[in-house]
């Protein structure tokens, strides 16, 4: 295959065959194909798109480009959840032990985060001593024995995706829908689960702010997963405001524990239960999403999900007493209120700016070597549709520095208050079933 012909074929709207896609991924990963030719091809895909078969072939080739997690020794149907990323998204800490408590294996591979807060591993490290480094054999044994374990991503997971994403980032081709979908799904395919539930966020705090575009992405990812033999469903959920109240690392873990104890914000609980219900359906534990929600709610109410989380933390070296006493988590030195300047209804909370505010406090990192401050973040007290009076607290800033004018400004800019009554948007905006 000549790369110039590969580019020209896609430029002219032709369909690549699987072998040519595999060859492209292999040769681009090993450096045989230069960036300028891969850039030209990515731009051709941006304008011409790809068929579901092409997208599946690209996903499969990228998943095969590096390390893969073989979960075949784990008994039962292995299920996983992936979120496209949002502000205050802590559902993993709720639904993973919840699904495990139902007897369904959850073998999770997660990474660290770049952005306004840490990733799943960063947040779990709020538990003193928590470890995600272990042998594959130990990981598999934990899941077989206890139904839940979490391991850190290897450095060589989907190297083709890492290289291609970096190229897309500087060539204005990030928003090519087939390339977005293949990027996400290649990592989930390499992680080895049999069933995948996708939480596709929509709104100002999400990668996809437009509902129609989010539907297209969700449908493309579901098609890819099913084409590659993985049962896949997608839930489109609101991210036009932060999920729950807490945005930050230990703050989000504490809120997740509140939900596992039967409390916590309704939106966090409802979304976690819905996603868990889909996971239970994919694992053949229940026959319907409604039955899955009923089982999930029972496991929250009877304390079994909380106990599964406590044991999970302890098995991986974390201090389980933090689960019983969340006040033991590290706290910020200062709690600063941001108040409303006028009366009215909260019309909008620009979620991305709330995330940026948390990042400015030190909750996230811009480079992989930066340290994360687990104690800091933003607590959102007023949400869309709430009525506020001037002087009411909109948010609390949890900070280790006294001077937070830049953070206050971001939070004030994130709120839009109107005199007209505002109806909240639905939490779950659509679902794409397998």
Reply yes or no on whether 238 is catalytic: no
Neighbours of 2 (CB within 10 A): 7
Q: What does the DSSP assignment read for 166-186?
A: HHHHTTT-TT-HHHHHHHHHH
Reply yes or no on whether 187 is catalytic: yes
Closest C-alpha among 273, 243, 339, 347 to residue 101: 273
Distances (CA, A) of 60 to 2, 8, 83, 220: 21, 23, 20, 14
Distances (CA, A) of 200 to 172, 209, 271: 22, 11, 12
Distances (CA, A) of 415 to 265, 340, 345, 349, 381: 20, 9, 10, 5, 12
Determine which one of 183, 250, 272, 414 is catalytic.
183
Phi, psi (rounded to 5 degrees) for 140: -65, -40
Determine which one of 16, 82, 254, 374 is catalytic.
82
Determine which one of 80, 89, 122, 161 is catalytic.
161
For the sheet with 377-380, list strands across it: 246-248, 377-380, 393-399, 334-339
Determine which one of 78, 108, 163, 168 is catalytic.
168
* CA–CA distance, 239 with 230 (Å, rounded to integer): 26
Report the alpha-carbon angle 391-332-261, nearest 5: 85
Determine which one of 16, 22, 123, 187 is catalytic.
187
Reply yes or no on whether 398 is catalytic: no
Q: Is 387 helix (H, G, I), strand (E, B) or coil?
A: strand
* CA–CA distance, 276 with 268 (Å, rounded to integer): 12
* CA–CA distance, 255 with 95 (Å, rounded to integer): 13
Reply yes or no on whether 183 is catalytic: yes
* CA–CA distance, 171 with 176 (Å, rounded to integer): 11
Neighbours of 68 (CB within 10 A): 16
Biggest CA pair distance of the chain = 67
Reply yes or no on whether 334 is catalytic: no
* CA–CA distance, 324 with 168 (Å, rounded to integer): 45
In sequence order, what are the residues at sequence separation of 6 or more whose Cβ sits closer than 8 angstroms to the Cβ of residue 137? Answer: none
In sequence order, what are the residues at sequence separation of 6 or more whose Cβ sits closer than 8 angstroms to the Cβ of residue 87? Answer: 116, 205, 239, 242, 243, 247, 351, 352, 354, 355, 358
* CA–CA distance, 316 with 300 (Å, rounded to integer): 22
Q: Which residues are catalytic, by number?
A: 82, 161, 168, 183, 187
């Amino acid at each position: 295959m000549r790369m110039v012909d590969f580019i020209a074929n896609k430029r002219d709207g032709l369909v690549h065959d699987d072998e040519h896609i595999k060859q492209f991924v292999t040769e681009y990963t090993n450096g045989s194909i230069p960036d300028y030719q891969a850039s030209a091809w990515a731009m051709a895909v941006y304008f011409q798109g790809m068929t579901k078969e092409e997208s599946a072939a690209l996903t499969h080739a990228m998943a095969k480009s590096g390390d893969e997690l073989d979960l075949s020794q784990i008994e039962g149907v292995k299920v996983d959840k992936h979120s496209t990323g949002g502000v205050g998204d802590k559902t993993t800490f709720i639904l993973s032990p919840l699904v495990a408590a139902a007897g369904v294996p959850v073998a999770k591979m997660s990474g660290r985060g770049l952005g306004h807060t840490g990733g799943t591993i960063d947040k779990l490290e709020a538990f003193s001593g928590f470890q995600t480094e272990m042998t594959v054999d130990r990981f598999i044994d934990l899941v077989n024995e206890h139904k839940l374990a979490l391991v850190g991503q290897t450095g060589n997971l989907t190297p083709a995706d890492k290289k291609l994403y970096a190229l897309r980032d500087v060539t204005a081709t990030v928003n090519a829908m087939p390339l977005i979908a293949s990027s996400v799904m290649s990592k989930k395919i390499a992680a080895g689960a049999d069933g995948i539930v996708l939480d596709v966020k929509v709104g100002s705090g999400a990668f996809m702010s437009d509902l129609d575009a989010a539907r297209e992405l969700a449908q493309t990812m579901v098609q890819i997963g099913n084409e590659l033999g993985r049962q896949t469903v997608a839930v489109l959920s609101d991210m036009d405001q932060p999920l729950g109240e807490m945005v930050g690392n230990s703050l989000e873990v504490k809120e997740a524990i509140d939900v596992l104890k039967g409390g916590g914000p309704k939106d966090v609980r409802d979304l976690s239960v819905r996603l868990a219900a889909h996971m239970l359906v994919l694992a053949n534990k229940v026959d319907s999403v409604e039955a899955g929600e009923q089982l999930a709610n029972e496991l929250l109410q009877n304390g079994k999900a909380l106990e599964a989380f406590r044991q999970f933390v302890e098995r991986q070296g974390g201090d389980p007493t933090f689960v019983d006493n969340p006040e033991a988590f590290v706290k910020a030195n200062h709690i600063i209120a941001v108040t409303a300047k006028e009366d009215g209804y909260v019309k909008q909370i620009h979620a991305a700016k709330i995330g940026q505010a948390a990042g400015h406090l030190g909750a996230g990192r811009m480079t992989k070597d930066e340290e994360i401050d687990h104690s800091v973040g933003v607590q959102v007290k007023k949400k869309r549709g709430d009525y506020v009076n001037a002087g009411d607290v909109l948010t609390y800033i949890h900070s280790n520095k006294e001077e937070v004018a830049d953070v206050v400004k971001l939070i004030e800019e994130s709120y839009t208050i109107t005199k007209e009554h505002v109806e909240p948007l639905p939490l779950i905006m659509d679902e794409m079933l397998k």
